[in-house]
């Protein structure tokens, strides 16, 4: 069966520090991968998606970036965090475009 992992589970970082969140999927190959952010009062917002290794599409302008160095690994990064980057970050995968999406357990990021 397929599983999706995210780490760390929680993170507290100072403003201006770098960020690296990791997401990995097991039990499938060539999945579509997604990064979402859930911020208080703003609902779930798609940040990035990837249909293959090295293929990243950005949905909103921001100081975050994403990379997909391996087929089942998706990384969310920032060089300098802002207060507004605080939120709950969720990774998701699907078999292909149009199929059901499955979410990971999330990472709670607090920027102080």
Residues at the site binding another protein, with contacts judged by CB under 8 A: 6, 32, 34, 43-46, 49-51, 57, 59, 90, 92, 94, 96-106, 108
| Contacting residues for 42 by C-beta, under 8 A, at least 6 apart | none
Nearer to another protein, 24 or 49 (CB): 49
Least Å distance, CB 9 to another protein, is 10
Q: Could you say which DSSP state residue 63 is in?
A: S
Of 19 and 92, which has the nearer Cβ to another protein?
92
């Amino acid at each position: 069966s397929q599983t999706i992992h995210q780490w760390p589970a929680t993170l507290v970082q100072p403003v201006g520090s770098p960020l690296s969140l990791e997401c990995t999927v097991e039990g499938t190959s060539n999945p579509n991968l997604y990064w979402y952010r859930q911020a208080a009062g703003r609902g779930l917002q798609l940040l990035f998606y990837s249909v293959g290794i090295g293929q990243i599409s950005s949905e909103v302008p921001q100081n975050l970036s994403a990379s997909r160095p391996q087929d089942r690994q998706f990384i969310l990064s920032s060089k300098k965090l802002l207060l507004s980057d605080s939120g709950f970050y969720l990774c998701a995968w699907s078999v292909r475009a149009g199929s059901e999406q499955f979410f990971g357990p999330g990472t709670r990021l607090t920027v102080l």
